[in-house]
Structure 1
């Protein structure tokens, strides 16, 4: 390694300390200038250039300070809002999961009970209908037999269609939701 490269390496290694030292020096000079500005007994007219320079820099620092405060406040509020969003989303997701599990269990059980009850009703009706259809065979009048046959067939079709419709209506309940559109005030 050449002496020039070695000096450059040492300078780079000492750069943070050197930067800190120079920053401290500059800060001391600025502090001295500010003290002279505020403690100066000489009229501002004699040191007009310095007074203007100090005023401009003080105005710039003040503007930067307010901008820094505004950004810090904005970040703090955004962080708080994000935290609230996260908490609300967590509650929403866990609440939905709990409610959906309850809904599945409830409707599953009710559907099973309803299906059993509908099957029982259909079985009872069909047993009675068989008895009625068997009774038709005993009628002597062909016209009465046909009319009663048609009536019983319509009645059976209506009953079974009604059971199907009731089951469809029950299944449709599962898809019903509360309308969540916002109303305009």
Structure 2
């Protein structure tokens, strides 16, 4: 496994060593000892989630607050997404900044998103399967979000806005500024 730092503090791209031959491929999707040695982060993932979505679905930008805050290790099992995370840690030198990359079932890259970050993804291929490990359980009352098109965040989703498919809840999320003033 190779680990690359991103422009956001404590956020890493994880690149597995994929072994390919005439039968297909094999890779370790997670190795706790290697992850901790290469990132310096002690991982204790306790919940795995998976979703299937069609092209144009945008999920996010979501996060949990308080004692239910979550770190995530995200990847694509089938298909392709534009994955985006935003640093919401007020004392962080990268507060309010975002990072994005393509995650797909070809390169098998993963993204480690620390606690205190918002996360979202845009599905770029039909029948995409997205999977993520969390270090805390989901708690409905701790769930929050930031609107995907917040001008202050300036995220380029690279997709026609009129073709996006969003949940009603995600359409009503506040801007970062509005969230911070709640």
User: What is the TM-score normalised by the length of structure 2?
Assistant: 0.15
The structure carrying a bigger helix percent of its residues is: 1
The structure that has the greater radius of gyration is 1
User: What is the TM-score normalised by the length of structure 1?
Assistant: 0.14
RCO higher in structure (CA 8 A, sep ≥6): 2
